[in-house]
Homo-oligomer: A and B are copies of this chain.
Amino acid sequence: MKLIPFFLFLLLVSPAQASERDGDCLVCHQQSAAERQLQTSAHSGDLGCADCHGSDHDAIDRGDSYVGVDVCGRCHQQQLEEHRKSRHGMGLHAGWGCTRNVPGRDKQECRFCHREGDTQPISTVQCARFIKQSSEMGQIGCNRCHMIENSCAGCHTNHRTDARIVKDPRVCAKCHMGPDHPQWEAWQTSQHGTLYNALGAPDAPDCQLCHMPQGSHDVSGGLTAPPSGKPYAQQKATDQRQIMLDRCQECHVRGFAARELQNADAVRLQTLELVDQARAIIRDLDDRGLLDPQPTKRLEHPQRGKELVLDGAMLYEDISHIESLFFRLNKYAAAKTFKGAYHQNPDYTHWYGNAEVKLLLNDIRGEASRLRERGGQGRVGVNGEMDEKALEVLQRRHQRGELGDSEYAEKKRLILEQILQ
């Protein structure tokens, strides 16, 4: 801007010039906040309404002229590329399934997955939880976050360009909060967040400093595990860790930072073991036909039918009470434990996380005990002790791949020996 001669500058930002180009729009939209915000934005003078929205007013009104990332990417190419290769770039892929056959669905939803005039979905990834929701819940509850793949406005807002908005950690909070991934809350009450509150940026670490260094839109750099916490391949995890340590090193001795993150890694893996314990208890009940109700006797899972689903496609509705407890343990409490640990927050790691995982594990064990007694199998446990269903359970575990062939054969032999005694 410094080098632009003054008369050219005047021309660029002149309201007269923008008004001329947007004349048709401003007949009605002169008083709008959009217009006011655009005029005071960095886009003022450069961009008029039609540059982003097109000039087909009917299409705009129908929602067919969506200002997606491609529109912004015409000028902001690097940011779009970084965005697309990050997890933010799979926002919709993670959150959407095709809803074509769901009755009463708003057909305008289509443009989230399909480019105009293209019947091929951008993605075939489906979210069972999303498919179960009403169109309105999907829009407010799911897409307002998951639309990030195709929307710069989710963070930047529509017509403003004030950098204070996107440099504020609060802008991340809208999605990175709540029962399932309270990164914002965990950061906010960590020592990092405390420093930010007292001193502000750039003297204190905020979301952007660690996850978007130098304004990079690749928010996934330096992460060593996906949201579920399952381990990445070793090489990938090691490489990403070095990237994060480079950032930590701005303030911390590298060795200290490495130890801190290793501790969080350990907490993550220990937590996933507790999740596995809980999952095994419920799978065993399913194998024995003791869930109330069994998956075969309730509404079908939209992708897996009458199967028990305890993985990432698990629903929170139309499941049994003990699965309800597991959902809270796995999706809420376990996530808080390790996301709290990576954000150096004692309360999220320990009380909201670890203690809640273990309290829910008590509850799951208690409910399992009740269900076993109810089914007349009071003495059986998750480890496949001798009982009338032992062989059947063993077979199902073998089928699921939890037991290898030789382990299966050995356990089967032991059970048969006991039966034949």
Contact = CB atoms under 8 A, between A and B. Distances in A.
Interface of A: 32-34, 61, 133-137, 139-142, 144-145, 154, 157, 162, 164-165, 167-168, 170-171, 173-175, 177-180, 184, 189-191, 193-195, 197-199, 250-253, 255, 263-264, 266-267, 270, 292-293, 316-324, 327-328, 340-341, 344-356, 358-363, 365-367, 369-370, 373-374
| Residue in A177, A266, A369 whose Cβ sees the most chain B Cβ within 10 Å | A177
A360 B325 CA distance: 10
Copies per complex of this chain: 3
A143 to B, nearest CB: 8
Given A157-B191, A346-B175, A350-B137, A199 B323 contact: no
17 contacts: A136-B270, A140-B267, A142-B346, A165-B195, A168-B194, A174-B194, A175-B346, A177-B189, A177-B347, A178-B351, A292-B366, A316-B358, A319-B362, A320-B362, A321-B367, A324-B362, A324-B363
Contacts of A317: 358-359, 361-362
A144 B175 contact: no
Contacts of A137: 267, 270, 349-350, 354
Given A140-B263, A141-B351, 13 more contacts: A137-B267, A145-B346, A165-B199, A168-B197, A170-B193, A170-B198, A174-B191, A174-B194, A179-B352, A318-B362, A320-B362, A322-B366, A328-B359
A194 B170 contact: yes
